[in-house]
Chains A and B, each alone.
Chain A
Amino acid sequence: MTDKLSSLLVIAVLLPFAGALTNGLLVRYMPRKISGIIASCTITFSFLLFAVVYIAAGNAIRIPYVVQVAPWLFLGDFNAGISFIADRLSLIMALMVTGVSALIHFYSIGYMGGDRGVNRYFSYLNLFVGFMLILVMAENIVLMFVGWEGVGLCSYLLIGFWFSEEEKANAGRKAFIVNRIGDLAFIIGIFLILGYFNSASFISINANSYKIPEMTAFAVTLLLFIGATGKSAQIPLYVWLPDAMAGPTPVSALIHAATMVTAGVYMITRLGSLFMMSDMTLAVIMLTGSFTALFSATIATTQNDIKKILAYSTISQLGFMFAAAGAFAFSAAMFHLITHAFFKAALFLLAGSVIHALSGEQDINRMGGLERHLPHTSLMFWLASLTIAGIPPFSAFFSKDEILYKVFINENPAAHFAPKIAYIMLLLTSFMTAFYIARLYFKVFSGDYKGEKHPHESPRIMIVPLYILTILFAISGPFGMGGGIAHIMEMPAKIFIKNIHLTNTFQRILEPSIASFGSVSSDVSTEILLIFVSVAVAFAGWFSGRYLYYQQISPVVESFNRKFYPLHNLLYKKYYIDEIYEFLIVRPYIYISKGLYGLIDRFIIEFVFIGLLVKIVYVTGFVLRVFQNGYLYKIICIGITGLGIILYFMVGR
């Protein structure tokens, strides 16, 4: 890394902020159209700069390279500065963030073009990318927290973008506050880390993590993980994400699917060596992740709002990533993170395209038959659905399989049962995923159109970015192929090229910058078996969904729903989690606040304490008033008596 490259890197991080400022301050005085172009160009340029840095740096970034920009917080013996870390992990993540962001920015030009506050929108969106880049590139954990909170802030602003609707503003606030709960745990975790390592830098934390005692490691990592559950929408702090769908759809695609919500996974990967020190936490992460995956996938099977389904699907897929992180397969987690960014961003944007086509309709019961009206959208949606379902040869098949395999072979000394339970839950989730996405796809695109508005295909500015994303998620799979798949692929390939040896390119690239145990040996046959199981499950899910929802809803569904009405209702109402939280946390907080204020301020301090003082003063005054009765002669008599007493004591004795 040269100085030139590091300054390019700094420029790349700062560009989105510049874009945000330009859009926020200047564009009010310029034509509205220009704001989208400015915003998209800054992000594209930033992407290009990252690409240049990545390519030019080559092998130099096998070892993390630190770019010091400025000192920031002085924390006693050390300084948490504004400095960036350039290694393959951060640069790949930055490339993904800027790349997907650039596409979504271009899409947004079409999607938000007619909105009055378009410059505000692009300003927030640029600001978000800026903070996300700070999160990703941060060299120390305090600066990461800056990005961490910053993206939460932008998410708040963007969810509440259409602020004049109370519900949407509420959703934004909910997101911010739920995130703050996680952030609270995160910041206490940061204190523990800073206090223990006496440094904020990731490099020294990871290097010294082996010194940390077991219990401290457990506490630190658990706190950080709680922080991650807030940002990455895992149980128990996932509740904000479905509500966050109140924001504009490109925002959902960018923030609530592709980038921000994956921050937790990135953070765990970044601090891999530290997390490695606590098997307990890893078991907790794995079980939480896989349970979240299953939990939200079941909810997704019954929802009717197209964006809500995708939101629960996102939570579920994030669960996969956490399960992989808990299985210590950081490379697999990161790979799924990236493929997920591609296909889930595409799914959201396609959903946005559908919503755009139907002028704001989001209920899938009022769609149907859109295949004929939206040919591009429906084709790409079909591909994306197959991808998320885990059907080969698309990317999610590779990434998800790798996760399933890594979880299956994981051996966690803290909880022996954890990996197997997690595997079963994830396998069930795979089935459900294929099922709900098939339900979504066929309900929206097959059969007859049930709405009133006339659907129209989206403009080219929206379609082109979508095709790029489609290409990405369709072909990116083989870069991260697991050992088993590689083995299968090698067999036919050997006919043409001898000595071919396929490997997991992604893992190889990432290897230097993430923590790993080294390769765990296992026989290829288990892996191949697992591949067939998961492919079978995916197909089973897809075709059962197709069977029940193709063209029209099969009567089986109706009778099933009637027979198992409580179950269906439970899922449809999302396990009543929102209501439970409302009842257990929100209401008590309000009542306790009111009660405490009434009790302490109004009653104890004001009424009892101050009241008592006032009473004492009043009574004293009442008694002493006898002497102050306003008759001149009495006053003088009292005065003379007083004088006499004083004289008696001074002279008389």
Chain B
Amino acid sequence: MESVLLTYIIFSPVIGLLILLFIPRDEKVLIKNITFILSLVPLALSVLMLILFDRSNAGFQFETLIRWIGPLNIYYHTGVDGISLFLVLLTTLSVPVVVVSSFNYIKTDEKLYYMMLLFLETAMLGTFLALDLVLFFLFWEAMLIPMYFIIAMWGGENRVYATFKFVIYTSVGSVLMLIGIFYIGNAAGSFSVSEIYGTNFSVKEQLLLFGAFFLAFAIKVPLFPVHTWLPDAHVEAPTGGSVILAAILLKMGTYGMLRFVIPLFPNATLIFAPAVFILAVTGVVYAAMASFVQKDIKKLVAYSSVSHMGLIVLGLFALSRVSLSGAVYQMISHGLSTGTLFLIVGILYERRHTRLISEYGGIASVMPAFSVFFMIAALTSVAVPFTSGFAGEFMILFGSYSSEFMQNSSEYHRIFVYIAATGMLFGAVYMLWVYQKVIFGPNINPENQNLKDLSFREYMVLIPYAVLMIVLGVNTEFVVSRVMPSADRLIQIFYAGLK
């Protein structure tokens, strides 16, 4: 079953990049418009993929398997299943949004910026669609380059420090993972997922490989306590960079755990699961508390990301079909809500050039429409019912609560769920606090009194995310019916490999 659709999706941004190369750098308006149109191509292709997607098939679809580096059994192997399907869609949706949102924010070297964005899109799509470890690693590392430049060239004051931290942290994980990949390739004789899924590693091997892979992914997620690169990177990144970082890059960590760590090393997963639960749950509570004391809105949102991602990791390692589907759902939902929150901070920043919470107040009186979008994102973030956040969190929490795997792996597994559920409370504490500080209250600061409400372009940026947050909150079937079979299959693979 060969299909070129996924290859088109992955490489269409690169083709766009090549087209962009021929446009003189001074044609700024042209560059912006053309990038926007070019970024719609992968979106259209991935929507086509969604339409053609067969929801009854739990395995990989649209697979392409081409021998790439023959002697080493490295393949160009791509495919999509229910888990990666919506992450791909989230990516292809986010890039046009980010492109439009950057129109006013990026004022220097536009051509390079948009080229970087398109390059980044290819790398992200490749990461989600690659089914060969080496190919996966290639895209995983390739994503670092444009992200580095986006933060380092268009970032804030302290960008050198932030990019350095970002790159060093990520590289440390990547290096270990690379060693792990070599080991697996050597042991299994192939790097392709379809062949390595059945490999039998001894428990000792599994523990070491788990360590190598998990650290790489945990840094990306980021899981407590390796999360400190994220707030700095977010604060310094331009709006577009932050949105991509929060909406998609973080999901690559959880996606990697789901795709490689859990099915490849089932015994190690069983042994390490309690430790992962402790880290995840600590992260949920701790990051929620940490975000409450932040003075910078972006930092607050960054810490809220850490908190939410901890919950997703809990759902992944609880390994029940409900919690897994919930975790995937929450990945989407978190991408939408946090993406919107960063867009919103960006909109404020463009107007006032500050991100300090104390500088704002009473914005609702001058920017009512803006306040509505902020409200929707904040409510999704604190998991109010009928927003996508609630569906995700509820499925994660209930799935973990009723998970047999969790019951087997640790005696007090329900305590983790109870503690994780407090995240919903602490989330409300900081999110409503910042909302109130920024939006409500008297509008005293004279600089805030003449702020303009959303422009047409900003509406166009915010509406797709906002609509999706509510639609996915009410209709969960559309996503879950596609995710759940793949989640079931993953659990099957996991139990088949368990010794």
Contacts and interface: CB of A to CB of B under 8 A. Distances in A.
Given a CB threshold of 8 Å, the question of whether A touches B is answered with yes
Interface string A169-203: 11011001100110110011011001100000000
A200 to B, nearest CB: 10
A150 B432 CA distance: 15
Given A173-B432, A187-B397, A597-B290, A75 B322 contact: yes
5 contacts: A72-B476, A169-B441, A181-B425, A184-B421, A191-B398
Interface in B261-280: none
Contact of B402 (A166, A169, A195): A195
Most chain A beta-carbon neighbours within 10 Å: one of B390, B425, B440: B440
Interface string A577-600: 000000000000110111011001
Interface of B: 225, 228, 286, 289-290, 292-293, 320-322, 325, 362, 364-365, 379, 384-386, 390-391, 394-395, 397-399, 401-402, 417-418, 421-422, 424-425, 428-429, 432-433, 436, 439-443, 474-477, 480-481, 484
A593 B401 contact: no
B436 A593 contact: no
A139 to B, nearest CB: 15
A184 B394 contact: no
B228 A605 contact: yes
A188 B419 CA distance: 10
Contact of A74 (B225, B432, B480): B480
Contacts of A606: 228
Contacts of B397: 187, 191
Given A75-B322, A76-B320, A593-B292, A160 B440 contact: yes
A123 to B, nearest CB: 10
B415 to A, nearest CB: 11
Given A149-B384, A180-B428, A593-B290, A73 B394 contact: yes
Interface in A126-185: 142, 145-146, 149-150, 153, 156, 160, 163-166, 169-170, 172-173, 176-177, 180-181, 183-184
A559 B322 CA distance: 66
Given A173-B432, A180-B428, A195-B401, A153 B384 contact: yes
B384 A177 contact: no
Given A74-B484, A76-B320, A597-B289, A184 B225 contact: no
A610 interface: yes
A160 B394 CA distance: 27
Nearest to A200: B398
A31 interface: no
A163 B477 contact: no
B428 A146 contact: no
Contact of B424 (A73, A153, A160, A187): A187
Given A146-B385, A177-B425, A601 B442 contact: no
Contacts of B433: 173
Contacts of B481: 74
A362 to B, nearest CB: 20
A191 B325 contact: no
A145 B385 contact: yes
A47 B354 CA distance: 50
A160 to B, nearest CB: 6
B293 A593 contact: yes
Contacts of B417: 188, 191
A71 interface: yes
B243 to A, nearest CB: 24
A283 to B, nearest CB: 25
Contacts of B425: 177, 180-181, 183-184
A184 B289 contact: no
Contacts, number: 133
Contact of A177 (B390, B429, B441): B429
A597 B299 CA distance: 12
A556 B436 CA distance: 46
A544 B484 CA distance: 68
B424 A184 contact: yes
Given A150-B384, A173-B432, A191-B401, A166 B442 contact: yes
Contacts of B429: 177, 589
A177 B322 contact: no
Contacts of B391: 73
B395 A596 contact: no
Contacts of B443: 164
Contact of B442 (A164, A589, A594, A610): A164
Given A177-B428, A195-B402, A601-B290, A74 B228 contact: no
A592 B289 contact: yes
Given A75-B322, A145-B385, 20 more contacts: A74-B325, A76-B321, A76-B322, A146-B390, A149-B385, A160-B436, A163-B362, A164-B364, A176-B432, A177-B429, A187-B397, A187-B424, A188-B418, A188-B421, A191-B417, A195-B398, A589-B289, A589-B292, A589-B429, A604-B225
A209 B394 CA distance: 23
B353 to A, nearest CB: 24
B472 to A, nearest CB: 11
A149 B424 CA distance: 12
Contact of A164 (B290, B322, B440): B440
B290 A153 contact: no
A70 interface: yes
Contacts of B322: 74-76
A74 B436 CA distance: 34
A82 B263 CA distance: 35
A119 to B, nearest CB: 11
A610 B168 CA distance: 11
A255 B484 CA distance: 39
Given A75-B322, A176-B432, A610 B228 contact: yes
A183 B436 CA distance: 21
Contact of B399 (A76, A166, A184, A600): A76
B413 to A, nearest CB: 12
A166 B481 CA distance: 45
B178 to A, nearest CB: 20
A176 B435 CA distance: 13
B402 A173 contact: no
Contacts of A150: 384-386
B421 A187 contact: yes
A73 B293 contact: no
A600 B385 contact: no
Contacts of B475: 70, 72
A169 B228 contact: no
Contacts of B321: 76
Given A75-B398, A181-B425, A597 B364 contact: no
A330 B458 CA distance: 53
A160 B441 CA distance: 9
Contacts of B428: 176-177, 180
Contacts of B290: 593, 596-597, 600-601
A652 to B, nearest CB: 30
Most chain A beta-carbon neighbours within 10 Å: one of B397, B439, B441: B441
Nearest to A146: B385
A597 B426 CA distance: 15
B386 A146 contact: yes
A593 B286 CA distance: 8
B476 A73 contact: yes
Nearest to B432: A173
Contacts of A164: 362, 364-365, 440-443
A13 B346 CA distance: 38
Interface in A586-636: 589-590, 592-594, 596-597, 600-601, 604-606, 609-610
Contacts of A146: 385-386, 390
Contact of B289 (A145, A593, A610): A593
B266 to A, nearest CB: 21
Contacts of A160: 436, 440
Contacts of A183: 424-425
A75 B395 contact: yes
Nearest to B394: A73
Contacts of A597: 289-290, 293
A145 B480 CA distance: 20
